[in-house]
Structure 1
Amino acid sequence: MSTQIPKPSLGVLHMQEGVKKFQLNRHAPSAELAFFVKHYWIVRWDLTGEEAYPQLVVPNPCVNLVVEPGRTACFAPGKTTYSHLLQGQGCVFGVKFHPGGFYPFIKQPISELSGRPLGVEMVLSASGEELETAILGQPDEGAMVERMESYLQARLPMQDAQATFVQQVVERISEDRELTKVDTICHYFKVHKRTLQRLFDQYVGVSPKWVIRLSRLQNAAEAIDTGQHHDLLQLSMELGYHDQAHFIKDFKSVVGQTPDAYTRAVAGSAPVS
């Protein structure tokens, strides 16, 4: 039996508005798969007779295996916010791997997957169409998770010590808002900068510097979404930005709007266009 796990938005923008349009549930993996899989996520919506809803998501340093009619594939981390158009009625099932947790399945640099989805048959003993029928055809979410786990367990690779190290670094970045420089990470973990960059290229797909930036901007968007911050200057300082102009530039490059414009959009309960 799968276990639902309560989580913050984790990069889902305008979550307060989004919950009116769709249902998002996350399920913990079994002990056997917990080394590789962070969680399973399932999105359902029914907008029959309503306007389509563009849901925006900030990228994160994780590979996602997404099961969706006609679009099933594995997706490497991106660098900009992406939009998923929800219309009519539907369901999408996803496997979110830990940073570094997907590499053992394919043994090729995750950076090479950037911008080009990988067919699931390269990872599992099933085609995209087979997965769509097998997973989305299940009667409930617990059964979906169990079926996906059976596919993953059939191709389970050996655990990788380097993947463990990379995950520890990413977790440290996420937990410590004052950690804003790659050199600081290298000093803390006693690793050479070039070695760390090579490991992230291979196991994560984006650089350590980019992971730091994404973590801070995800925290910023979530703070704005939940109404935890109304002083953007103070927020930028708490996230380690000593120059507000730098914060604004980074936020806009990833989210697509300035922090001020995003705040106004949240206040108006309107999705970013």
Structure 2
Amino acid sequence: MTWQKEQFLRPTQPYFVLEADHFQQEVYWTQGISHFYTFGLHEARAFDVVPDACIDLVFQYTKHAMDAYACGPVLSCQRQNWDGKQDVFGVRFIPGYHPAGIDIEWKDLIGHRIPLKQLMKDTILIDKMATQMDFYQRIRIFLQEYVKLEKQQDKPYGKRALVMDITKRAYLSDGLIRISSIAEQTGYSESYINRVFREQIGFSPKTFCKIIQFQRALEFLNYGQPNKMTEAAVNLGYYDQSQFIRDFKKYAGITPKQYLKRIEQEQYKNRIKDTNYLSF
């Protein structure tokens, strides 16, 4: 079996796809943004959120209002409640990336969902997004205003620049890079790298790498065709099948075999519509 993976990992929330009434996404790969997505809910629901090491900016549209939030990552599979009928537009940033214009430390968003108005000094982006009712226009308006926020933001330096470099190396290696290798490449000691990463991100670089590896495993199961879990474990760089099953269950809430069965039964690939609004 040959698995042709994408060059860049697109971090996913698979239960959003499986539980929502429809799901669309627009891959971007620019400005620290992984992709834009949208889904609808016709009633209140609860479904699981899995670790992805990403910050999402989420805009929830109901009949009477729009509410916007910065949503931090979780470190284990957790249940999330969605209240009532709504249309959701989201911007998912690449793992470890801190969105421009958000006045909060990365680590302080872990496990939290905070109104954007509490975190942004300038609410023009929020105000403009409130009037947009089309997926394409929401992407356009978001990017138009987000560029302005980026220009106002200072370039990263010191510890923040180091952490950005570490997360980039981990991301591009699918989480398989060792901290000892990062130490050799950057000239910093392993203890310093671990201390700074925990200080800035809130958990260890090893945990970050495990989450990236898990996200690649989700992609493998979603779009590959594994004949055996042992084969999947080898493809994904796990030590053995037992480690793969153990880590996957910790983050997804179920075993790889159970997950594969569900996405096959519910036709995961057919539930996602990949748009190409920006491919010109």
Tell me which residue corresponds to 2:203: 206
User: Offset of 1:86 from its aligned partner?
Assistant: 9.1
| Structure 1 range deviating more: 130-139 or 60-69 | 130-139
Tell me which residue corresponds to 1:138: 132
Tell me which residue corresponds to 2:106: 110
In structure 2, relative to structure 1, the CA distance for the partners of 1:93 and 1:266 (3 Å cut) is closer
1:248-263 equivalent positions in 2, closer than 5 A: 248-263=245-260
Provide the rounded CA distance (Å) in 2 between the counterparts of 1:135 and 1:226: 33
User: Offset of 1:74 from its aligned partner?
Assistant: 1.9
1:53-72 equivalent positions in 2, closer than 5 A: 57-69=49-61, 72=68
Provide the rounded CA distance (Å) in 2 between the counterparts of 1:180 and 1:137: 44
| Aligned counterpart in structure 1 of residue 170 of structure 2, from 168, 173, 182 | 173
Tell me which residue corresponds to 2:25: 24
- State TM-score, norm by structure 1: 0.73
Provide the rounded CA distance (Å) in 2 between the counterparts of 1:19 and 1:9: 19
Please say if residues 23 and 43 of structure 1, whose CA atoms lie closer than 8 Å, have aligned partners that are also in contact: yes
| Aligned counterpart in structure 2 of residue 218 of structure 1, from 210, 215, 219 | 215
Count of residues in correspondence between the two structures: 253
Tell me which residue corresponds to 1:160: 156
Q: Are 1:76 and 2:72 counterparts? A: yes
1:184-195 equivalent positions in 2, closer than 5 A: 184-195=181-192
User: Offset of 1:84 from its aligned partner?
Assistant: 6.6
Provide the rounded CA distance (Å) in 2 between the counterparts of 1:142 and 1:233: 40
User: Offset of 1:178 from its aligned partner?
Assistant: 7.8
User: Offset of 1:252 from its aligned partner?
Assistant: 0.4
Code of the aligned partner of 2:11: L
Please say if residues 166 and 200 of structure 1, whose CA atoms lie closer than 8 Å, have aligned partners that are also in contact: yes
Q: Structure 2: any 5+ residue segments left out of the alignment?
A: 1-6, 269-280
| Aligned counterpart in structure 1 of residue 266 of structure 2, from 256, 265, 269 | 269
Code of the aligned partner of 2:52: N
Code of the aligned partner of 1:232: M
Code of the aligned partner of 1:137: T
Q: Are 1:121 and 2:117 counterparts? A: yes
Provide the rounded CA distance (Å) in 2 between the counterparts of 1:112 and 1:193: 24
| Structure 1 range deviating more: 229-238 or 206-215 | 229-238
Tell me which residue corresponds to 2:238: 241
Please say if residues 38 and 96 of structure 1, whose CA atoms lie closer than 8 Å, have aligned partners that are also in contact: yes
Deviations 1:136-184 (A, max 9, x none): 3125234432454266258x22111344432332232233258354333
SS at match of 1:186: helix
Please say if residues 55 and 72 of structure 2, whose CA atoms lie closer than 8 Å, have aligned partners that are also in contact: yes
1:87-106 equivalent positions in 2, closer than 5 A: 88-94=85-91, 96=93, 99-102=96-99, 105-106=102-103
Q: CA RMSD in A?
A: 3.7
Identity of aligned residues (%): 19
Provide the rounded CA distance (Å) in 1 between the counterparts of 2:149 and 2:81: 26
Provide the rounded CA distance (Å) in 2 between the counterparts of 1:237 and 1:210: 20
Provide the rounded CA distance (Å) in 1 between the counterparts of 2:237 and 2:204: 18
Provide the rounded CA distance (Å) in 2 between the counterparts of 1:239 and 1:39: 21
Tell me which residue corresponds to 2:226: 229
User: Offset of 1:135 from its aligned partner?
Assistant: 0.3
Provide the rounded CA distance (Å) in 2 between the counterparts of 1:96 and 1:159: 17
Tell me which residue corresponds to 1:13: 14
User: Offset of 1:124 from its aligned partner?
Assistant: 1.7
Code of the aligned partner of 2:93: K
Provide the rounded CA distance (Å) in 2 between the counterparts of 1:118 and 1:206: 20
Please say if residues 103 and 109 of structure 1, whose CA atoms lie closer than 8 Å, have aligned partners that are also in contact: no
